[in-house]
Structure 1
Amino acid sequence: MKNNILFLVLYFAFFLGCKPLENKPQKPKLIVGIVVDQMRYDYLTRFYDRYSENGFKRILKDGFSLENAHYNYIPTYTAVGHSSIYTGTTPANHGIISNNWYDKYLKKSIYCVDDSTFTTIGNLSNSGKKSPYKLFTTTVTDQLKLAQNMKGKTIGIAIKDRSAILPAGHTANASYWFYGNDAPKWISSSFYIDKLPKWVIDFNNTNKADDYLKQPWNTLYDIKTYTNSIIDNNIFEGKFTGETTTSLPHDIPNLRAKNGNFNLLKSIPAGNTYTADFAKAAIIGENLGKTEYTDFLAVSFSSTDYIGHKFGPASKEIEDTYLRFDKDLADLLLFLDKQIGKDKYTIFLTADHAAVHVPAYLQSLKIPAHYLNNTTLKETILLITKKYFNSVELIENISNYQIFLNKAKIESLGFTKNQVAEKIAEELIDFEGIYKVVTAKTLQTTHFSEGILNSLQNGYNQKLSGDVLMIPYPATLTGGKTGTSHGSGYSYDTHVPIIFYGNGIKKGVSKKRYDIIDIAPTIANLLKIEAPNSATGKIVEEALLK
């Protein structure tokens, strides 16, 4: 009799296409998207031996790492990166073409998340007049809400407003960002909520921010062991206001008054720890991962970017920052294990862009690197229009290596916009700091399938972008000769970590080329939901359990 029952069970299991005795994995209860602002891929490898077993090493060993992942567009800026990660597409489609850009319809520069139709929630400043309305497409966070009939929660968190708002999308329950100055508060916008929840008020009423600023920034370990970075006091790094040397330790308690008081928290490693503290409070306060629906926490760690800009990738400050962030990551993972359950959450960790070594430092090593003078560039462009069109009034704006032309003025002189754009491109290629120049018409009519011009094309939005687009030489920055920046389509700006970890993720490594826009379709496929509505990325199949 028992044999007959076993036969029937096996028969129906086979007939229904099921594998007997196999437990179908459940969807994760919580997705945690972690974006580390300005994290180069080589920060994983340079500092690997010094990381603990429970932070970066844990997700590398037990997750799936894409070792050759890149941004596939220009410009590589914070708002653009966060948008592309979560929409699964490039600025050509999602419409966030920079942090700030010239609006050729409003005839002024605009900021990516400014929205005067909403008010600040959490204080009386204007810092909460924000929304994601400039983002044209859905995000994977939006798609999860739609798939669950608006059930489940989405929360965005970052020190920077744009890094909290754009990942959380249009349907988030809330996004929170840090207001420093003399009143350390996590605030939001009336786009999301009418008042701060009690858990946010309670967190704001703690003295955590003040406590972090009472301690000097010294190295986590003996500074003599920091052999993966250059000498501490050097001419390539910036200083906090009031300092006479670039060396650690930095006397934070005595520096805060001259450096924006609580704003200084943004520019030290403790800013990442403080962000992690708030993320943990959000998980508890919003009861994330505790219902029948999948929740999404989008958290970005911004202090790495502020520190990178000031000190550069080769600094002891950067080395110490990542050793400390590794501990923050380990603590967050342990918290998730206990609060959500070790097999009930999924993480992806990536960066919104990377960064170039300080060009002056590269120059000292006889490596080609450059500084471009924006004033000289503008003067050269005006000389071109004066020479060929007898006018210096044909340019409306020059920003983000783009030239916006004054169409009305051009046509009043009997020329066309394409004529002017083509002549500028033809002449400007001879400018010392510029490597390539392309007109908007070329990007609209020619397909570049690979290389730097393909990246430029992916970042070009026909409705929003300029009429002439420039690419400087590799390792080129504008401004002063200390610290670093980003924005290019070269590998130092595009090569970032992408690591998947947790529920539904295999253990492994891939050396194949993947793009940043592949994250959202992969997470969507893991959750069995539609990808964002303009997604152009592909699913990283090899990272997912079948």
Structure 2
Amino acid sequence: MISAKTKSKKHLGLLLSIPAFLGSSYALAQVDKPKLILQITIDQLRGDMPTAYLDRMGKGGFRYLLNEGVVYKDAHHNHANTETIVGHATLATGALPAVHGMIGNVWFDDKLQRLVYNVEDSRYPLLSVDAGVNQKTEIDPTQRTAKSSGRSPTNIQVSTFSDELMIASNGKAKVFGVSVKDRGAISMAGHMGKAFWFSKKSGEFVTSSYYYDKYPDWVTKWNQAKPATKYDKKAWQLSQPQKGYVFARQDEQVWESKLPGFGRTFPHQYGDKSNGYFNTFLTLSPAGDELTLDFAKAVVNNEQLGQDDVTDYLSVSFSSTDYVGHMFGPSSLEAEDNMLRLDRTIAKLVSFIDKKVGLDNTLIVLSADHGAAEAPAYLSTLGMKTQVVAPKTWDKKPGMQALKKKFGFDSALIKSYFHPYIYLDRDLIARRKLSLKQVQKAVATELEKFNGVALAVTSSDIEAGNTPQNYLHNLVVNNHSKNRSGDVYIVLEAHRFVADMEGLTVATTHGSPWGYDTFVPLIFAGFNIDNDVVYDRVSTTDIAVTLSAILGIKAPSGAQGQILEQVFDTD
């Protein structure tokens, strides 16, 4: 809660009653404001994870945030497709995917007749060659769909909080987004900020011509120092004695992914820097977050964030938890050690910001783009019934074959499945003068008979408002974009998974509307905020709206969240 010496309920009432036509400058003059907004996003951090190993965490990281901040114990994403870009865009905009448009990491574009990666944009190529040496894989299959290395935020259909900060300050605010993942950096930096992400090909932090004509000198120097090479011939070792870990005796499980050279057991070798997987291995370990931290610190130092009276914004999205979770599962020795190391990384970031800007001058908000599903095989060892689902087989099922015969299809009825959408062959449907609505409905009805499928919701029903008013259907509707969503949205039953990511077998994945994927942490800290614990159900769309209210600026253009008043309370 923001303390009385900074802001009172009277100030809040004044702030909320300011007519929109008076503009943000009037609002900003009424209250104190932080010098820096630090938004920390942890990729694949389920809401229970910050406290899971707290007994072995030190000061300054999660313990500082949990003890000194306003902690929301029941925060959730209110959309069905809990993927990286969907969650990041929701955190950034305060809008649901139906409004901000980022409905999945990929979607099929009818006009282009191909799969589109969410932040790809051929108009804005990378500023560096980004070629690397013998880099064999990115271990991020969604990026393989992009037809260009160009990147921009233009697919985000509304403004972000960081955009509104730029507007309110007449472009004087400094806004940066940093992440290993391009989509993690770009979404949070918005349309008006600057974004940098880690290239697994070159081992550098890169950006595109959308943001700069050329790299700032300090970025060039940072990359020329080749900071990734400090891990050359090193390994990911356990940070504490193994006997103290919850998963100490489960270092190697058959369901864990086993990449050549990296393995399933500690120590995980990074190998020689000339190794084709070297930079990729860094991102599959805490090293990816450590590199992100180092670059974020360089941004603060070189761009002088938080050093004047205009509020600046820094988004740091840590990605290692997601990669480690996919490869080993969230309940694994690797995930446990990663959390302990992430705690230290956050502690270093908080300490650095305290020295450079001051925590009383910095408003910190921490959340996640989505939660985490347990590895199905791990759940099976505990007695939970689980199932791995294979959508590639659906079109060959007898029921689907009967539909193909009924509709006169001599090719696949299901043209493609890109999670979570089924795409039908609309051209063939049109040529046969069939009703798209009827074909969608028939396919959805048949799909719901398949083992492991909980719901199959047609786009026609969503757009006509013909879906039941219940929790799961509402989350599916919240995810729907008329121009981007597929023909049928598939919701698998709880604890049913697609464990194949375009040919890469993983321990587990996410992307469902079930609680383990929607549940995320939400903490506000710093800026004289008093500690509190809130058990009310809140939404991730509330974050951007609350940040806007704190600064007295208008909320993002598509924002649908509510102001979290507990952040302002002084009782």
TM-score with structure 1 setting the length: 0.91
Q: Is 1:246 aligned to 2:264, yes or no?
A: yes
Aligned to 1:171: 192
Which runs of structure 2 are paired with 1:106-125 in the superposition (5 Å)? Answer: 106-123=112-129, 125=131
TM superposition shift of 1:432: 1.2
2:467–2:473 CA contact under 8 A, matched in 1: no
1:30–1:344 CA contact under 8 A, matched in 2: yes
Aligned to 1:69: 75
CA pair 229-523 structure 1, distance change in 2 beyond 3 A: farther
Q: Separation in 2 of the partners of 1:535 and 1:527?
A: 16
2:180–2:318 CA contact under 8 A, matched in 1: yes
1:32–1:299 CA contact under 8 A, matched in 2: yes
Match of 1:523 among 536, 542, 547: 547
> Could you give the per-residue CA deviations for residues 49-97 of structure 1, whole angstroms, max 9, x where no partner exists?
1111211010111111111001111110001111000110111000111
Which runs of structure 2 are paired with 1:165-204 in the superposition (5 Å)? Answer: 165-172=186-193, 174-181=194-201, 183-204=202-223
Match of 1:36 among 35, 42, 45: 42
Aligned to 1:21: none
Q: Separation in 2 of the partners of 1:321 and 1:154?
A: 28
SS in 2 for 1:151: coil
Cα RMSD for the two superposed structures: 2.1
Aligned to 2:560: 536
TM superposition shift of 1:228: 5.2
CA pair 147-164 structure 1, distance change in 2 beyond 3 A: same
1:507–1:543 CA contact under 8 A, matched in 2: no
Which runs of structure 2 are paired with 1:76-91 in the superposition (5 Å)? Answer: 76-91=82-97
2:391–2:417 CA contact under 8 A, matched in 1: no
Aligned to 2:278: 261
Match of 1:339 among 332, 352, 356: 356
SS in 2 for 1:437: strand
CA pair 290-392 structure 1, distance change in 2 beyond 3 A: farther
Q: Separation in 1 of the partners of 2:468 and 2:71?
A: 29
2:70–2:523 CA contact under 8 A, matched in 1: yes
Q: Is 1:291 aligned to 2:308, yes or no?
A: yes
Amino acid at match of 1:250: H
Larger radius of gyration: 1
Q: Is 1:388 aligned to 2:412, yes or no?
A: no
Q: Is 1:496 aligned to 2:487, yes or no?
A: no
Q: Is 1:94 aligned to 2:96, yes or no?
A: no
CA pair 106-128 structure 1, distance change in 2 beyond 3 A: closer
TM superposition shift of 1:200: 1.1
Q: Separation in 1 of the partners of 2:569 and 2:209?
A: 40
Amino acid at match of 1:133: T
Match of 1:438 among 439, 457, 460: 457
Point out where structure 2 has 5 or more consecutive residues left out of the alignment. 1-13, 15-29, 132-146
TM superposition shift of 1:259: 5.2
SS in 2 for 1:332: helix
State percent identity of aligned pairs.
Answer: 36
SS in 2 for 1:52: coil
Aligned to 1:212: 231
Q: Separation in 2 of the partners of 1:251 and 1:447?
A: 51
TM superposition shift of 1:365: 2.2
Amino acid at match of 1:353: H
TM superposition shift of 1:523: 0.7
Point out where structure 1 has 5 or more consecutive residues left out of the alignment. 1-16, 18-23
Which runs of structure 2 are paired with 1:449-468 in the superposition (5 Å)? Answer: 449-468=469-488
Q: Is 1:306 aligned to 2:323, yes or no?
A: yes
Q: Which stretch shows the higher mean deviation, 69-78 or 234-243?
A: 234-243
SS in 1 for 2:520: coil
Q: Separation in 2 of the partners of 1:124 and 1:483?
A: 29
TM superposition shift of 1:257: 5.4
TM superposition shift of 1:279: 0.4
Aligned to 2:288: 271
> Could you give the per-residue CA deviations for residues 178-223 of structure 1, whole angstroms, max 9, x where no partner exists?
1133x32111111010111122112112242111343221111101
TM superposition shift of 1:44: 1.5
Q: Separation in 2 of the partners of 1:67 and 1:140?
A: 23
1:29–1:295 CA contact under 8 A, matched in 2: yes
2:122–2:149 CA contact under 8 A, matched in 1: no
Aligned to 1:10: none
TM superposition shift of 1:132: 0.6
Q: Is 1:483 aligned to 2:500, yes or no?
A: no
SS in 2 for 1:120: coil
Q: Separation in 1 of the partners of 2:170 and 2:277?
A: 44
Q: Which stretch shows the higher mean deviation, 488-497 or 439-448?
A: 439-448
> Could you give the per-residue CA deviations for residues 278-306 of structure 1, whole angstroms, max 9, x where no partner exists?
10110011010012211101111111111
TM superposition shift of 1:384: 4.4
Q: Separation in 2 of the partners of 1:387 and 1:59?
A: 60
TM-score with structure 2 setting the length: 0.87
